[in-house]
Chains A and B, each alone.
Chain A
């Protein structure tokens, strides 16, 4: 029965989708407008030109939805005129996902030492330092960054800047 099928696929999944687009005016607006207009979630979105000669940009989107919604998102992205390719990095085999965060911690004494110790464990680098503060640079999966930022909270966390997820498939194949 159709109803059972509907129920069976209603569990929400998180997918990372890579989209290759012409780097032209308004293209990011089209993608974001598609998500807001149709009520899809954006958990993370990154965009940058990746081919300067052909003027192509790559957009990495982390989104959640039922399998039917994820499929719909990919189809809707695919019909945008400036879109060259849409690839579901979650569904189409293994991928590497990385995010960078700059994390500012302002504290002194024992808490300052502790923040440095934890940064060491997470392989975060100090990129700015004053007597009362550090800026840490940390690279990794989203979960690792979340954990690091959580640990910094009681140690004087004052500011966070994150890039969002950049992702690429494993192996020799290109997008």
Chain B
């Protein structure tokens, strides 16, 4: 084959095209000028200019999460790269496939404290799945292809490729992706057949089973989610999903118990606590899910399926461990279940469902309605009801509104829910919504936000306006960092230290200043009309929903408590146990 000689910048662009990339989110600077020049000279790849590098990464995350493709980011050296760090770690913790290209000072200046020099590979090493510093243009094409392969396979994650400026202008040879084979990286896809057989035998013998599934199923793809639904329906067992897993199984299905964890439903958490067999797929037993670990699911035999071997036996010991891709393992499990002609103990299962129904009857998500003030839960309920008949993508910021969105907005399909779970990054939701909107220009994209989170990346209104991105920001404005306020109320004697924002901008004027539409609503009676106006208004819309500032998010498993020790809202039986002194030390 004829060898293709081109500059490093051209190699990068060609590799992006060959990897199927259509859009890059970025921000230019001195060390990436050759790359931006190469971008200028082509029309295959679209560049979206954000107003901050962190937002570029979150936008790429939204793009990736709503499409299943790799999101691509382009930032300059030094501050460009360091600004991207929060987004990279966010993507690492939530397993979002990204490739972040960063400029670097020329190789001969590395180590001299040159202008806008940062040890980017050093800084991002613990924030990425892998990273590269390309010092030789002849290795560049191979590294680019490898970066995409690493980002999208196994447990997906962010990969940084640091590109010194002289490498971008040097001439080198392009190689095709097919010619690149990594020396050591071989993520496991297929689960061990014997372990799967063991898992299915355990499932078949269960009397109080529960499926506990997470973002790993979503990451495995819509086919994996469909396979999960078939398996779950075939077994007749209840299923709960993690925050990242929402949409992996239809929320409208009777077998769905709702989200589990710190703000999960009463029935999901008690089913986890009381189960005798737990089938965990693509979920990582993080502390927000397990509560106090030594009291977690005390009588359960645990099957744990994960593509990441390090997620198994990290926090909770699994009785049957299966390393493999969720979709592949679910299919094999279902085949084994059918082959065995498994007939679970019907009587036990009936009793278990009866028990679950009594927990459900508590209606743990109920809240006190009001005619005079908008309850945040009500706002999300109405948003859900008024958008459910169209394709709607939801992103969130981080805090109370995020948990209410998880509780009161319902997802029947995967890839429609984008939220920062692992890192809990305020400022994620709005730029993520822009990335989603780029990927789905015809669909409704709503960022459910709090006013404090929104302000962390609100400069991106300019991006939305520039590209005509019609994403809506639905701000539940309570003038507080609501979750901080809630914890201060519950744990620190209602001493609201620095959690109230005294000087908030006028959202309508803010929208006006940036050249988009702003709406404000403060009466429950006006809510529906405002939501409809938001949907019907072309272009970006910011909605200032003035909500009850004192509302708390329940149910809640307080820090240091187990799943059977939940705080419930006053309407449904009120307060559970007080938070222990040990619990106060936990996050």
Contact = CB atoms under 8 A, between A and B. Distances in A.
The judgment on whether A and B are partners is yes
A70 to B, nearest CB: 11
Nearest to B129: A81
B150 to A, nearest CB: 6
B125 A68 contact: no
Interface of B: 121-122, 125-126, 129-131, 133, 150, 154-155, 182-185, 293-300, 308-310, 312-314, 316-317
Q: 5 smallest A-B Cβ distances: which pairs?
A: A75-B310, A81-B130, A84-B184, A75-B309, A3-B294
26 contacts: A1-B298, A2-B297, A2-B298, A2-B300, A2-B317, A3-B294, A5-B317, A6-B317, A22-B184, A25-B121, A25-B133, A26-B121, A68-B313, A68-B317, A71-B313, A72-B314, A75-B314, A78-B309, A78-B310, A81-B129, A81-B150, A81-B184, A81-B185, A82-B183, A82-B184, A84-B184
A139 to B, nearest CB: 32
A151 B275 CA distance: 59
B341 to A, nearest CB: 32
Contacts of B294: 2-3, 6
Contact of A84 (B133, B183, B293, B295): B183
A76 interface: yes
Nearest to B294: A3
Given A26-B133, A37-B126, A2 B313 contact: no
Nearest to A34: B126
A33 interface: yes
A81 B184 CA distance: 7
A76 B309 CA distance: 8
Contacts of B297: 2
Contacts of B308: 79
A30 interface: yes
Interface string A42-74: 000000000000000000000000001001100
Nearest to B312: A75
**Chain B interface helix/strand/loop/mixed:** loop
Interface in A1-26: 1-3, 5-6, 21-22, 25-26
A26 B295 CA distance: 40
A62 B177 CA distance: 39
Contacts of A72: 310, 313-314
A143 interface: no
A83 interface: yes
B310 A22 contact: no
A101 B122 CA distance: 32
Contacts of B295: 3
Given A3-B294, A22-B184, A81-B130, A30 B125 contact: yes
Contacts of B185: 81
Q: Report which residue of B126, B133, B150, B308 has the largest number of chain A beta carbons within 10 angstroms of its beta carbon.
A: B126
Given A5-B317, A25-B133, A76 B125 contact: no
Nearest to B135: A25
Contacts of B133: 25-26
Contacts of A68: 313, 317
Contacts of B155: 79
A145 B317 CA distance: 38
A25 B122 CA distance: 11
A30 B122 CA distance: 9
B290 to A, nearest CB: 11
Contacts of A75: 309-310, 312-314
A61 to B, nearest CB: 16
A5 B299 CA distance: 12
B67 to A, nearest CB: 24
A109 interface: no
B125 A26 contact: yes
B125 A29 contact: yes
A72 to B, nearest CB: 6
Interface in A136-166: none
B298 A22 contact: no
Nearest to A82: B184
Given A75-B309, A76-B310, A81-B130, A22 B296 contact: no
Q: Report which residue of A2, A78, A81, A83 has the largest number of chain B beta carbons within 10 angstroms of its beta carbon.
A: A81
Contact of B298 (A3, A29, A76, A83): A3
B457 to A, nearest CB: 27
Contacts of A71: 313
Contacts of A6: 293-294, 317
A125 to B, nearest CB: 39
Given A6-B294, A68-B317, A83-B184, 19 more contacts: A2-B294, A2-B316, A2-B317, A6-B293, A26-B122, A26-B131, A33-B125, A33-B126, A71-B313, A72-B310, A72-B314, A75-B309, A75-B313, A75-B314, A79-B154, A79-B155, A79-B309, A81-B184, A84-B184
B316 to A, nearest CB: 8
A9 to B, nearest CB: 8
Nearest to B154: A79
B423 to A, nearest CB: 15
A22 B184 CA distance: 8
A161 B38 CA distance: 53
Nearest to A6: B294
Nearest to A1: B298
A158 B155 CA distance: 51
Contacts of B183: 22, 82, 84
A127 B293 CA distance: 55
A78 B187 CA distance: 10
A81 B133 CA distance: 14
